[in-house]
Structure formats: structure tokens, C-alpha cells
Structure 1
Amino acid sequence: MLLDSASLYYRAYFGVPDSIRSPQGEPVNAVRGLLDFIARLVADHAPDQLVACMDADWRPQWRVDLIPSYKTHRVAEDPAAAEAGEEETPDTLSPQIPVITAVLDALGIARVGVPGYEADDVIGSFTARATGPVDVVTGDRDLFQLVDDARRVRVLYPIKGVGTLQLTDDALLVEKYAVTGAQYADMAALRGDPSDGLPGVPGVGEKTAAKLIAQFGDLPGIQAAAVDPTAKLTPTQRKRIIDAGPYLAVAPKVVRVATDIALPDVDPTLPTEPLDPMALEELAARWGLGSSLQRVLDALTPAGT
């Protein structure tokens, strides 16, 4: 099981009231919410391995070089933070992130980020190397591109909290979007994504993108059809695809997650007891993690122990 950590703690932050505070009065809603997520996931799905994948670089320069608008709107407005390339993060979330990493480390849950890459790329690379089934837990639809029924890779997409998860497989993607996981990145490139600063092809939305993929197979097939006078495209579609040529030449590399990055040597085995009980006890007391942390510990403890 691979966790898109930032996606999940953002959801926790916005889904759990900020009245949840430490003994000193600091908000810990993201910390406790993420711990509740993890406890529920372990209890419900019983993974034998678990990796918390992190954004070592939320906006990699190599993606920005290809599409300069990539995530531009998320860059912090504060001039110093913007100069450093920092992501705009709610004031009361930023201080909770180091607490989250410290708790994960004390629990002994593997935590992996790779310089120059997003968590999506770490997830993509772990998935590519997996020899067994993989569950990716994320609130980011971009990772639907990893879904692969043949390799038993699915995405657990939180719909409401983490109690209600959409179990995303190829059949569900075909039903909802008329594409498979293998076709999802091409659809996303055509459609674009304002939340990531990806313009897409003007006038091509989700449904049109899916129809074009069904008709011509993939993005190269669509581009080839645009310059083929015998292909069944409307004049407007043909012009839009041709005009978007420079964007479509680079968009796939930006949209597709990396699957071949060098990963650190970590033990992904789900711990059955905390790696550092004393540190965990201190963190629990300092931040008032209470029942949320206890639920994780209960979920990790083997039955009958």
C-alpha cells in the first residue's frame, strides 16, 4: 500500500475541525486526521507493506521547464517564499507537517521522498517495481493512470473521509471516463487541468478527449489523424489539435508520473510495534495525539497479541 501523504494530510486538514488542538493550543487536525486515515486503512485492508510517499519537490523544475504554467497558481505569494519556490500552504498546516513526519518515523512506517520528484513519481516507481498487488491511496485523480487490472494495481480514492473509498479499477474508469488506466494520462493531457496549470487543448473536454482516444487509440494516433485529410475529424477539431502541437509535444512527460527513478533502500514491511516507543510517547504527550495514535497502534498490533 502506497500513501500519497500530502494529498491525505491536506484532506485531513480540511476535513477535521481545527478545534482539535495540542495541550498548548496548536492545531493538530491534520496530524490526527492522517493518523485516523492510516488506522482505518490498515484495519480495513490489512496491507503487508506500507510506504508513506512524500513530495521532496512539489513543483520539479524539469516539469516547469516543459510547461512554465505548471502549478504556478500554487506558488506562495510571499516574495521570499515564492523566490524559494515554496508551495502556498495554510498557515496552520505548515507547522503540522514536521510533526507528521516525526510520528511516522517513530512508528516505523517507511517514508520516502526523492529530491527533484513529487510523491506521484515515487508512487509510480514503487508501483512499476511491485511484483504483487498494489493499492495506491490518494485524493489526486492524476494517479488513476497507474490503474492496471492485469497487474492488480488499483487506486483507493477517498470520497468522504477515509471511511468511504472509491475502489478504482479499469472497469470503473471505463464506466466513469470511458478510458482505461493506461489511457488516462493521454485523456488528462488533452483535457488539461487548471488545478495543475495545464492548459489542455482548447475546446477538448473530458468526453471529447475520451471519444478521440477511442477513435484513434492514443495521443500520437490523434495527432497523426489531425494531419491526415482522410481521418474523421471535424475541421475545428483538426485545427485545435494541430495548433496545440507544441503543448502536446511536452504535456505527456509532465502529466505522466515517473516510473524509473532511483528509490532509497527502505523496508516497507508494515510494523507490528513502534520503532521508537519513547519518541512516540513524547510526541503523543507533546501534541495530544491521544485516541488517534492509539487507533494506529491497535491496527498495527497483530490479532491475538
Structure 2
Amino acid sequence: MSLLLLDTASLYFRAFHGVPDSLRSPQGEPVNAVRGLLDTIAFLVTEHRPDRLVACWDVDWRPAWRVEAIPSYKAHRVAQPGAGPGGADVEEVPETLVPQIAVIADVLAALGIARVGAPGYEADDVIGTLTTRAVATGTGPVTVMTGDRDLFQLVDDAAGVRVLYPARGVRDPDVVDQARLAEKYGVADGDAYADMAVLRGDPSDGLPGVPGIGEKTAARLLADFGSLEALLAARDAGDARLTKTQRQRLLDAADYLAVAPAVVRVARDIPLPDADDALPHAPADPEALQALTERWGLRSSVQRVLTAMAR
């Protein structure tokens, strides 16, 4: 019962920036993100033949509990502080992408493709939870399609979890398994990748990391000590395997290291709404799909998805 999980926002952002905005509706509105995402779904379903498919959704792109722990978390992406529902920060999103997101949601519903999100959590947390459930119930393997390296932390060969990362495009993604993590990052598995990401930090998410400890040094330290937890225990014990400089850097970053793992690691057990994740073989609402197809000029892209699902 193979499961394909889509990091939907990362894919429609990628489509928006990668597909010409000359693709327009009959009324002249850009539909490049909609068309690009639908073509991506058609390709993935054709290529990987999943039994189950979920479009995971960012209900909260910058959860308060992560910001409380690290105030700089995604702060550079805030367009309007406190202007969203419930006083949430509004993300900086290109003006012509905003209306396309609602169209994407409507088309997925008409197709019958499950779209799952949760208040207070990011799509990454939805993906982490659905992956954990699939592994626990033996209903994998799980393939995650994302343009976000954060989700490499889910990679687990024994559990049948891998990530597709479109470094060269959706049609030729990196297949990220444990061998790829070892080759590219020098870490043994997804857990070690998450520990490395804490130490390294990530400017694109506003995570400072430990100054002076980059990706390669972090990987070496984790190889030597086995885990971030063991590394910090060695720091506190004055372990001789740490140089004086390394230990001092870890001590100076103690406040950050106390909270960063919870921010970097995806949630694994959040409450999610019930959803039928079976890959549909026909649209759930043909009339609505037809209306959306005509209104937005999506005929070829929708047909590609329908053909892929029918197979």
C-alpha cells in the first residue's frame, strides 16, 4: 500500500517560479503554479504508481510554538506581522501566486485527491505524522516529494521511507535514501541529518546554528559521538575528543541547542482530520472539475492527471 506524500507548498512555489507566467486563464489570470503542480502530480502518479496520495498543506507556515523557541524562525519571510487570521503573521507570497493557491485547493477537491493540514502546524509536520503512522501500521513504503531538505530527516531504509528532491527538476529528482545521505552529507540516516541540521543551522529558515560549526564539522562530530545528545553530554563532561574551541562553541550556543532540536525536527504525532488517501481512479466531483477546468483553462493539465489516475 505505497504512500506518496506531497509537500504541496514547496511544489507550487517551485512551479510558480519554474513555469512561465504566460500560461493564463481565458480571462488572463496567471495559472502557471496550478498547471505546474497538476503536471507534477500527473508525472509522479504515472512514474511511481502509489496506492495512496496526500497533498500535505501548510495551514500554519510559521507556528507560534516554533517562533517562541527561536524568534528568528522564518522571520525574514514575514510580509505583514499579525495581519492573518487569529493574529498570525502573513507570509511574503508573490501577488500572482496568492489566488492560484485557492484554485489548487478546489481542483484537488474536485479530483478527489486528499488534502491534509492541521491548525498550528506546517506541512512538514503533517508529512512527519503520516509517515510515522504508515511505518507503525506497516502501510508503507512511503515516498515524500519535496523541495525542502528539512524532510531528509525522515529517511529510513529499514522503514521504507525515502525522499524525492527535485534538485534537477521534478522529472529527474535526487532519490534520497541512507546511501545518498552518507554520500552527500556524511551522516548515517535521517535522525543524524536532523542533528546535523541543528548544528549547521539554516539561513533560509532563520536558524542560526552553532557559529563556527558548519555542515562538514557537524557531520564529523556526529560520526564521532553518535548523536547530538551524546555530543552535548560530551561537551558538558569536558570530553577530550572535543577541541577546546569546539567545546567553547557548543557552550556559547547552549541556549540555542536547548530549543533547536524541537524546532528543527518535524512533529510526528499531531492530530489530523480524517481523509480518504486512496488514489482516486476517477474525479470525486466531475461537474465541479469540469467547471474549474473551463474557468481556469486547465484542460491539458487536468486530463494528464485523470489519465495518470485511471491507469
TM-score by length of 1: 0.96
Residues 196-235 of structure 1: matches in 2 within 5 Å? Answer: 196-235=205-244
Residues 197-276 of structure 1: matches in 2 within 5 Å? Answer: 197-276=206-285
State whether residues 2 and 123 of structure 1, in contact with CA within 8 Å, keep that contact through their aligned partners in structure 2. yes
State whether residues 121 and 259 of structure 1, in contact with CA within 8 Å, keep that contact through their aligned partners in structure 2. yes
State whether residues 82 and 89 of structure 2, in contact with CA within 8 Å, keep that contact through their aligned partners in structure 1. no
Question: Aligned equivalents of 1:204 and 1:30: distance in 2?
Answer: 37
1:67 matched residue in structure 2: 70
Q: What code does the residue aligned with 2:16 have?
A: Y
1:40 matched residue in structure 2: 43
2:167 matched residue in structure 1: 159
SS at match of 2:6: strand
SS at match of 1:159: coil
The structure 1 residue matched to 2:60, chosen from 57, 61, 70, is: 57
Question: Aligned equivalents of 1:205 and 1:73: distance in 2?
Answer: 21
Question: Aligned equivalents of 1:100 and 1:229: distance in 2?
Answer: 54
Question: Aligned equivalents of 1:292 and 1:157: distance in 2?
Answer: 22
Cα distance change of structure 1 residues 84 and 258 upon mapping to structure 2, 3 Å threshold? closer
State whether residues 190 and 200 of structure 1, in contact with CA within 8 Å, keep that contact through their aligned partners in structure 2. yes
RMSD after superposition:
1.3
Residues 79-94 of structure 1: matches in 2 within 5 Å? Answer: 80=83, 84-94=88-98
Residue 117 (structure 1) shift: 0.3
1:12 matched residue in structure 2: 15
Q: What code does the residue aligned with 2:286 have?
A: P
Cα distance change of structure 1 residues 240 and 78 upon mapping to structure 2, 3 Å threshold? closer
- The percentage of aligned residue pairs carrying the same residue is 67
Does 1:187 pair with 2:196?
yes
- Which ranges of structure 1 fall in alignment gaps of 5 or more residues? none
- Cα-to-partner distance string for 1:225-254 (whole Å, 9 max, x where unaligned): 223334211211110001111100000000
Residue 160 (structure 1) shift: 2.8
TM-score by length of 2: 0.95
The structure 1 residue matched to 2:290, chosen from 281, 293, 303, is: 281
1:105 matched residue in structure 2: 109
- Which ranges of structure 2 fall in alignment gaps of 5 or more residues? none
SS at match of 1:213: helix
SS at match of 1:50: strand
